[in-house]
Structure 1
């Protein structure tokens, strides 16, 4: 009976798609039920949302110099944080790749990556603020550790996507582990990994801004202070400056990633 059902299931593609569609509907229905959305509350909240948006305009350009200075600090935090994270991520990725490391080492490295990813960036910011005090050093360290959880996984995926036949050919020819990594893995992994690193740097600009909420420096710190003081026009200036810089960095980063992909 079970065998007949399996054969029928494989032959009837529509049944598989129907089952997948039904599963998706059930999952989204379950998730929507858990949200407990109050439509009446959403409808009545529109005046408050509009009132808040009106208070944000027009921006106060008198603090433009403060915004630029804070933004420069945010970019500096992101540069160092991404670099620190990339350096730490590389050995962790090597240890977690199934085509390079033994099972026990993979388990430890993957557990470490998952542990870092499970800690929100805000919590990391609080930890390092407690350790180093308010300011950019705490934000830089928080961004660096936060980066490890993601770049480590990205690097691991890049290493595991390496063409296995090229590695096997090197091993058969008598190449050492170091030579296999140097001539078989690095040429294939470096362009993709650099692209991932650029993407993470771009993302860390935003992450560093959020860390300002807990006093970890950068433009986020100034932004939160203005919002808490109900100086919404100044907060708008901060957000607009951040928007311009993030847009420019996104465009430059995309162009660089495209060139790396063609290498």
Structure 2
């Protein structure tokens, strides 16, 4: 059976229980994955009724990271709702409800208590903040941990079709402050907030609690784009999957495949 990203992250976390970075990578995988929430009945519009059970003075909902796992657990077809882990965490926050992840059907079987779910929701709520400053000098990035570079690469790879490229550079601003800047080119305007949020998650789940990474969206004609391309570390976002082209060939038009006489 193929491992899921949650399986892989959970195995790494349990193998090194004192490793904060491994634990953050598990929470990142949980927030980024699509989860299947077991329901008591089919959804009615925007209203859903999760299956809830009581255990150890808390309530838990049943979630799975693959459709076949929810069927295997229930032993039959059951209603469910599919939603990102980050959305589920924010939906359940404050209700004293935890997650029962993949119970009895996967190596990543895990009970996530309400306080851990509240921490995850609070972490995800700390979104990017806007600031006003103009870059004066750019140079190649220095001193950033490999964990952040890897996390950025993964987050940007999951944003296929939302932008074209991203450039990471060290920056000095006109107000005297310094830091690192991620310039994103070719971004769809409607996706800019989601892209900034994804970059913020990469920073948070890399364990850099006091870290700051600025994000800006750059037009190709902007002089900043040329300067970033010259000195920065480049990430290319994948192209969205294209639907297969279907060609209709008239019978008899292909000499290698003559029509069949009946």
Coarse TM-score class (shorter-chain normalised): under 0.3
- Higher helix proportion (structure 1 or 2): 1
1 or 2, which has the higher strand percentage?
2
TM-score of the superposed pair, with normalisation by structure 2? 0.22
Q: Considering Cα pairs closer than 8 Å and 6+ residues apart, tell me whether 1 or 2 has the greater RCO.
A: 1
Larger radius of gyration: 1
Q: TM-score scaled to structure 1, two decimals?
A: 0.22
